[in-house]
Amino acid sequence: MADLLQDLSAVQRDAASATEGPVMVLAGAGSGKTRVITYRIANLIGNQGVPAGNILALTFTNKAAGEMRHRVDQLLGPGSSGGLWIGTFHSVFARLLREYIDRLGYSRSFSIFDSDDSKSLIRQCMAELNISQDSVPVNTVQGIISKAKNSFILPADFHRNAADYNQQKASQIYELYARKLKENNALDFDDLLIKPLELFGNHPEVLEELQELFRYILIDEYQDTNRAQYLVTKMLASRHRNIFVVGDDAQSIYSWRGADISNILNFQDDYEDARTFKLVENYRSTGTILQAANSVISRNQRQIKKELVAKGATGEPLTLIEAFNERQEAEKVGDWIRKLSLEKQLDFRSFAIFYRTNAQSRVLEDTMRQHRLPYKIFGSVSFYKRKEIKDAVAYLRFVQNDRDSESLLRIINFPPRKIGDVSIGKLRDFARERGISLYEAIRCAPQGGYQQRLVNALSSFSSVIESLREIAETGTVYEVLNSLFVQTGLLSLLQAENTPESMARHDNLQELLSMARDFSDHNPDAGMLGDFLENIALASDYDETQESDNFVSLMTVHASKGLEFPVVFITGLEERLFPLNCYEPEQMEEERRLFYVAVTRAREKIFLSWAQSRYLYGQPQHCLRSKFINEIDGDIVHTESGRVHGGGAGAAVSVRRTEPVRHSGGGAPPVREKEGMRKGTRVHHAVFGPGTVLELQGRGTQQKAKILFRGSGEKTLMVQYANLKVLP
Strand, coil or helix: what is 320? strand
Q: Is 33 annotated as a binding residue?
A: yes
| Range name among 100-114, 432-446, 708-722 with the lowest pLDDT average | 708-722
The domain segmentation of the chain, as residue ranges, is 10-100+195-279, 111-184, 309-374+546-639, 385-539, 681-726
- β-pair partners for 544: none
pLDDT band at residue 649, thresholds of 50, 70 and 90? very low
Mean pLDDT rounded to a whole number for the chain: 86
The pLDDT value given to residue 239: 94
Per the CB < 8 A criterion, the answer to whether 75 and 5 are in contact is: no
Q: Does the CA dihedral 588-591-596-602 come out positive or negative?
A: negative
Average pLDDT over residues 52-69: 91
**309-374+546-639, what's its fold?**
Rossmann fold (3.40.50)
Entry pTM: 0.78
Task: Say how many residues make up the chain.
Answer: 728
Mark whether 34 is an active-site residue: yes
Whole-angstrom distance, CA of residue 528 vs CA of residue 526 = 6
554-598 residue pLDDT tens: 999 999 998 999 999 999 999 999 999 877 889 999 999 999 999
The class that CATH gives domain 111-184 is mainly alpha
Mark whether 33 is an active-site residue: yes
Domains 10-100+195-279 and 309-374+546-639 share a fold: yes
- H helix runs in 311-386, sequence order: 326-343, 361-370
The pLDDT value given to residue 656: 31
Residue 633 has pLDDT above 50, yes or no: yes
DSSP string, 403-431: T-HHHHHHHTTSS-----HHHHHHHHHHH
Mark whether 584 is an active-site residue: no
Whole-angstrom distance, CA of residue 596 vs CA of residue 148 = 29
**385-539, what's its fold?**
PCRA; domain 4 (1.10.486)
Strand, coil or helix: what is 319? strand
H/E/C letters for each residue in 221-277? Answer: CHHHCCHHHHHHHHHHHCCCCCEEEEECHHHCCCHHHCCCCHHHHCHHHHCCCCEEE
Whole-angstrom distance, CA of residue 720 vs CA of residue 708 = 18
Q: Is 30 annotated as a binding residue?
A: yes
The pLDDT value given to residue 524: 64
Per the CB < 8 A criterion, the answer to whether 704 and 690 are in contact is: no
User: How open is the CA angle 152-156-157, to the nearest 5 degrees?
Assistant: 50
CA distances from 18 to 2, 23, 120, 233, 715 (A): 14, 7, 48, 19, 50
177-200 residue pLDDT tens: 999 999 889 999 899 999 999 999
Rounded to 10 degrees, the C-alpha dihedral 521/552/361/723 comes to -100
The DSSP 8-state label assigned to residue 317 in this structure reads P
* Candidates 12, 223, 251, 556; catalytic one: 251
Average pLDDT over residues 230-236: 95
Return left, alpha or beta for 418; rule: phi > 0 is left, psi -120 to 50 is alpha, else beta.
left
The pLDDT value given to residue 673: 45
Q: Is 274 buried (19+), middle (13-18) or exposed (0-12) by CB count in 10 A?
A: middle
Residue 424 has pLDDT above 70, yes or no: yes
* Candidates 149, 215, 517, 601; catalytic one: 601
Percent residues over pLDDT 90 in the chain = 49
The class that CATH gives domain 10-100+195-279 is alpha beta
123-132 residue pLDDT tens: 999 999 999 8
307-338 residue pLDDT tens: 999 988 999 999 999 999 999 999 999 999 99
C-alpha closest to that of 252 among 224, 290, 280, 292:
224
Q: Could you tell me whether strands 275-279 and 23-27 are parallel, antiparallel, or unpaired per DSSP bridges?
A: parallel
The pLDDT value given to residue 62: 86
255-288 residue pLDDT tens: 988 899 999 999 999 999 999 999 999 989 999 9
Q: Is 32 annotated as a binding residue?
A: yes
The letter for the amino acid at 680 is: G
Whole-angstrom distance, CA of residue 144 vs CA of residue 502 = 14
pLDDT band at residue 526, thresholds of 50, 70 and 90? low
C-alpha closest to that of 232 among 22, 58, 104, 83:
58
The letter for the amino acid at 718 is: M
Per the CB < 8 A criterion, the answer to whether 83 and 12 are in contact is: no
CA distances from 142 to 121, 273, 414 (A): 10, 40, 20
* Candidates 188, 190, 191, 220; catalytic one: 220
Mark whether 7 is an active-site residue: no
Q: Is 29 annotated as a binding residue?
A: yes
Whole-angstrom distance, CA of residue 660 vs CA of residue 690 = 37
Instruction: Give residue 575's Cα distance to chain centre.
Output: 18
Whole-angstrom distance, CA of residue 631 vs CA of residue 641 = 21
Q: Could you tell me whether strands 613-616 and 186-188 are parallel, antiparallel, or unpaired per DSSP bridges?
A: unpaired
Return left, alpha or beta for 616; rule: phi > 0 is left, psi -120 to 50 is alpha, else beta.
beta
651-694 residue pLDDT tens: 333 333 333 333 333 333 333 345 668 888 888 776 567 788 88
The pLDDT value given to residue 527: 54
Q: Is 34 annotated as a binding residue?
A: yes
The pLDDT value given to residue 668: 35
The DSSP 8-state label assigned to residue 350 in this structure reads G
Strand, coil or helix: what is 525? coil
Residue 453 has pLDDT above 70, yes or no: yes
pLDDT band at residue 706, thresholds of 50, 70 and 90? confident
H/E/C letters for each residue in 602-634? Answer: EEEEEEEEEECEEEECCEEEECCECHHHHCCCH
Average pLDDT over residues 474-481: 88
Whole-angstrom distance, CA of residue 561 vs CA of residue 579 = 17
Whole-angstrom distance, CA of residue 490 vs CA of residue 505 = 10
Whole-angstrom distance, CA of residue 297 vs CA of residue 1 = 38
Residue 394 has pLDDT above 50, yes or no: yes
Average pLDDT over residues 151-173: 85
